Amino acid sequence: MPLMTPDVIRELNAVGSVMILGIALNMFQLTKLKVADFLPALFIPIIYYHLIV
């Protein structure tokens, strides 16, 4: 079973998009999010997909 399937890549793109949104909100000083705390979330779609499927 391959590690990076199209479904996993799609989920990683979603997580990355949320992180980029957090960076943008920080740059515009609308909020103060610690985006580095979201980095472990990049591994959750990989683990979740392989546990479920």
* pLDDT score recorded for residue 2: 87
| Mean pLDDT taken over the chain | 93
Task: For residue 11, give every residue at least 6 positions away whose Cβ sits within 8 Å of its Cβ, in sequence order, or none.
Answer: 45, 48, 49
Q: What is the DSSP string of 15-40?
A: HHHHHHHHHHHHHTTS----GGGGGG
pLDDT (tens digit per residue) in 21-52: 999 999 999 999 999 999 999 999 999 988 98
